[in-house]
Amino acid sequence: MNRDWLKQLLEKVAARDLTVEEALTSLKTLPYEDLDFAKLDHHRGLRDVFPEVIFCPGKTAEQTAVLVKKLADAGNNVLATRATPEVFTAVSMVVPDAEFHSLARIITVTRQQPAFPCGEVAVVTAGTSDIPVAEEAAVSLEVMGARVLRIYDVGVAGIHRLLDRIEEINRAQVVIAIAGMEGALASVVGGLTSRPVIAVPTSVGYGANFGGLSALLSMLNTCATGVGVVNIDNGFGAAALAFSILKCRDDQVGIISPPGA
């Protein structure tokens, strides 16, 4: 459930196209629906920037399929992260229009198209090996309603590749910098832009990388200003934070004009 759905419901009641009793029936699952194995939060889209997101690991394929269908039937755009092909097979049986983004490991269902994107986020990776985390962020942002500029494989080992794209990066409202190894990309990007930078350490690297811990600590110790850090491999978390920044900008200065306006 989201604000648009609730607004339409109230407008139908006001226009007498829907009785109060029918509206109450539609709202009966607020604030959550108890499914025994999960308590599905239908209220989240009203108080947050996006409806509840499904984290697939630890759930059976059948449980994930039930959750996706429940959210889709409520009129929500659905995002299920860290999905496998087996999980998608189960989901597609009950929601035929679900899509699987294999590189991002995400299942999406589109029920509402944004009128126009609320802003642009540049998703930048140090290497090709960081792209799966980047795609998790990029696909999440697109489903939420943001434009995404993908700039991949521009790490500090060949910094000229990054400098060639810095003008594009500076046209975005938010930057997500994704890197493994020593995680230097976030500091470099932070020193080249006035945009807020969300740093995502990845588990990409050799033994001393410690599964992404070295990149995490490097990013936390950055001397560049305006850099925040999310957890290792957390592409979705970076997307959610970036989208919140875009939405706050909308609330403070008004809706961003659509492209070409």
Per-residue tokens: 9:
């419901």
Residues of the chain with pLDDT under 50: 253-261
Q: Token match 């306006």: residue?
A: 261
* CATH code assigned at 129: 3.40.50.1970
Which pLDDT belongs to residue 16? 84
Do residue 141 and residue 209 come from a single domain? yes
Identify the pLDDT of residue 5: 60
Domain boundary among 88, 109, 130: 109
Q: Is residue 80 part of a domain?
A: yes
Residue finishing a domain among 109, 133, 158? 109
Residues 247 and 143 in one domain: yes
Domain tally for the chain? 2
The pLDDT value given to residue 60: 95
Proportion of the chain in helix, strand, coil states, percent, rounded to 5: 45, 15, 40
- Pair (175, 226) in one structural domain: yes
The whole-number pLDDT of residue 256 equals 45
For the chain, the farthest-separated pair of C-alpha atoms sits apart, in whole angstroms, at 66
Residue 114 belongs to some domain of the structure: no
Residues 207, 209, 213, CA angle at the centre, nearest 5°? 135
Query: Which residue range forms the structural domain that includes residue 20?
Result: 3-109
| 176 and 97 assigned to the same domain | no
Residue 183 CB neighbour total at 10 angstroms = 32
| pLDDT, position 34 | 67
For residues 227 and 132, membership in a common domain is answered with: yes
Whether the full predicted model's pTM is greater than 0.75, yes or no, is yes
Is residue 77 in some structural domain? yes
pLDDT value at position 73? Answer: 86
